[in-house]
Structure 1
């Protein structure tokens, strides 16, 4: 994506799109990181002259470099099962409270710390650990560093001090020497290697450390006009939460499985991961990728609250036959399984809206941060039915958009670092169309459905 900054708006353009296809080899699910890097080079070549470059990506996954700076194997995908059972063993050894009071991180089986505990053999040969955007930045620039918003998703970052949690690393037997110096969003991350400059036609272009966790970039671009807002970064995952000046590290927060991740300018993204549109995406794949608009129209006409699922149930995490798993979940919980794709889509979207209601209610209760409006950003902002259901389920107005929030946040952090932008959110409000949804329908029915879901 390229962004052109004007005095009163930003124009975002798609330059190059390429597939991100994980590959299973010898039983392990990997990211095809070399293919992704080649896609980036192709995109930079097509982009033409630019003022700077920034990279954001998903969280928790990493690459390991040996003493020569070479990658030790393709990075493993967080949906691989290599860390199955590891979280439980580590938490039993260290203690949930001890881990949470340091990292403030939601307990998820694929967090970097648990992947590392399952990757001992590679650790013995590793000189450096780089999160995915930091690895790509290294290949572009030869510069090594760790941007804090992604570092904060590892479980090995101390949210109280803003530095690596070295005592915790020592206790777990993870060498702290492999973790590079931290970078803050907006700081320089080097310039293109000569070979990269030649290959892309770009010379002396700075690479800037942005909020490299895509959710952090997306939240930076939330077009909020005041502090009393919640956000849902809605895509494959739904990240549901509020923006705070400091982390919440109480026992109640830990028990509710909320996460404290670093945001732009020292803020805390206090949120819960909800499984998100991954469930719907896998259903569509199982059905042969039918046109979604027709399914959504049929789902809107389907009977409400026929069946409900807990989107965060572990059975919905791996790839596979998602409609079959939904049916099996319904059978286990004494419900009639949805009949046909329209009912399945209705079930998934209502269940997501209820999960959002639950997460937002907990976020407000645990943080004391009052919320007046919900901003939905990312791909899910296009899904009008889900946006309306979210307004109905929560009883709060929803502002949907921008869709490309992560790309906007990435570009505008770069622009701010160069003195081209002062207020990122104001510029987003001026530039992007926002769709408003007001609560409607029967709140009593949504409350009853929430009670059903909590009973699962």
Structure 2
């Protein structure tokens, strides 16, 4: 039986990987070929992405795959959302893309609502959760500053589209990544020209919109000559990593919610169309684009970012922990000693995350954690309780009963947090695949190649190739009591 080979470039906010996917009949295997860091650059008070370093790492990935001497069918790229690069009229990138954690947009959302368009009107047009770093508020800020990049741009390309452009010389706007921008009408699946007008941004700044599975172009001749490789097509997969990840949920029906767990946690349900009403407005729920015409009705939650930043601080102080050590420390710590709201603005990008947690506890009248184990346990418990808070909203919104929670992405390997989550929500948790974005990316390429035809066919293949972990709820009374305390704390 012939095998098909696909390259997935899966780029997150802290690292990137080159994954070689091999599909032989219904058997899917993944091989991590390269892994590389992706760190925000801090320059003169701003935070940027080093897109040129990312491009060099893509080239290294292509070279490493070429050494395996397999016939590659296609290439796909997925990244985080909202951020973008500018291209001038000569086709050159202008500077470095701003990172979503750049402080320039702090307060701009509220200013936009006051001076340009009320929050409810903007939500009614886009169905997107209001967040400071959404592309619309980045553009609003850059327009005010008369930013050089925006002023001289011929094209705006979202991150996966910008990297595809560097590989192919062709420009597209992929639908799922564009849907994170808060510039799209969720009904028409096109840019809202009224929003662009009030921003003072031309619709011609954007390349043609394409759906997941469209061909962007072939690797350029110059690149192939430089790397001594054959030219293959680059496919616009679901460019938003969460869209690719959700496509990889091994679900047999629609009676589920999902949690894409990583630096960010994104919880939601899959719907056949946008849901924009009083409830979604009240709860600030987002309608992002999915595969095969679906909508990812979801909410962004600060995820493993908080513990990652604690680990970073402790590393600077000379202490490092493996995951088993973290679990051991957390299990030994006193349960429910205090609670934090993971989405508190104080945790967005502090210089010292443990200090930010202590300050939050002081502000809310709680005793702060003292040991590293207590910090870890507080973060995990608070995340699990936050997941319950958000899942209760989706229970109200879903037309289907939510019978289980599928946890996908790197955070699905965190068995302690998975058990805490099952306890908190009172539902079974199905954890895996951890490589959901890569698998979704690869299977969308397989769909473009005609190997599968529908989203459910993709999931059927995925389900026979992954072995998820299962968690059942326990200690209901204790966790219900803790949830009430958590709610009382976050309302202070």
Global fold match (TM > 0.5): yes
1:248-263 equivalences in 2 (<5 Å): 248-263=275-290
1:37 maps to 55
Contact 1:380 1:403 in 2 (8 A): yes
1:75-154 equivalences in 2 (<5 Å): 75-92=97-114, 93-120=116-143, 121=147, 122-154=149-181
Pairwise CA distance, 1:363: 1.4
1:206-355 equivalences in 2 (<5 Å): 206-288=233-315, 289-355=320-386
2:439 maps to 408
Cα deviation, 1:429-453, whole Å, max 9, x if unaligned, reads 1111210001111x22222222222
Match of 1:195 among 222, 225, 228: 222
Match of 2:462 among 428, 432, 448: 428
Pairwise CA distance, 1:424: 1.0
Pairwise CA distance, 1:319: 4.4
Cα deviation, 1:108-129, whole Å, max 9, x if unaligned, reads 0000010111112232211100
- Measured in 1, the distance between the counterparts of 2:58 and 2:138 equals 26
- Measured in 2, the distance between the counterparts of 1:387 and 1:138 equals 38
Match of 1:50 among 72, 86, 99: 72
Q: TM-score, structure 2 length as denominator?
A: 0.91
- Measured in 2, the distance between the counterparts of 1:380 and 1:26 equals 33
- Measured in 2, the distance between the counterparts of 1:169 and 1:350 equals 42
Contact 2:139 2:199 in 1 (8 A): no
- Measured in 2, the distance between the counterparts of 1:247 and 1:397 equals 27
Aligned residues: 455
1:363 maps to 394
Contact 2:350 2:356 in 1 (8 A): no
1:67 maps to 89
Equivalent residue of 2:430, what SS?
strand
Match of 1:445 among 459, 468, 478: 478
Find out whether 1:7 has 2:32 as its counterpart: no
Pairwise CA distance, 1:401: 0.5
Pairwise CA distance, 1:299: 0.7
- Measured in 1, the distance between the counterparts of 2:199 and 2:396 equals 33
2:4 maps to none
Which range moved further: 361-370 or 270-279? 361-370
- Measured in 1, the distance between the counterparts of 2:73 and 2:248 equals 20
1:168-207 equivalences in 2 (<5 Å): 168-207=195-234
Match of 2:189 among 159, 162, 167: 162
2:418 maps to 387
Contact 1:60 1:131 in 2 (8 A): yes
Cα deviation, 1:350-406, whole Å, max 9, x if unaligned, reads 000011111111012133332001110111111000000110000000000111100
Cα deviation, 1:90-135, whole Å, max 9, x if unaligned, reads 1223011211111110010000010111112232211100000000
Structure 1 segments, 4+ long, off by >4 Å, are none
Pairwise CA distance, 1:7: 1.2
Contact 2:341 2:382 in 1 (8 A): yes
Pairwise CA distance, 1:200: 3.0
- Measured in 1, the distance between the counterparts of 2:200 and 2:485 equals 43
Contact 1:245 1:268 in 2 (8 A): yes
Find out whether 1:23 has 2:41 as its counterpart: yes
Which range moved further: 193-202 or 347-356? 193-202
- The Cα RMSD (Å) is 1.1
Cα deviation, 1:171-213, whole Å, max 9, x if unaligned, reads 2222222011101011111101101112233323011110000
Equivalent residue of 1:87, what SS?
helix
Cα deviation, 1:116-156, whole Å, max 9, x if unaligned, reads 11112232211100000000001111111100000000010
Contact 2:254 2:400 in 1 (8 A): no
Pairwise CA distance, 1:53: 0.2
- Measured in 2, the distance between the counterparts of 1:367 and 1:96 equals 24
Contact 1:261 1:270 in 2 (8 A): yes
Contact 1:61 1:132 in 2 (8 A): yes
- Structure in which a larger fraction of residues adopt strand: 2
- Measured in 2, the distance between the counterparts of 1:27 and 1:271 equals 32
- Measured in 2, the distance between the counterparts of 1:164 and 1:202 equals 37
Cα deviation, 1:52-92, whole Å, max 9, x if unaligned, reads 00000000000011111111110011111011111111122
Which range moved further: 360-369 or 275-284? 360-369
Pairwise CA distance, 1:19: 1.1
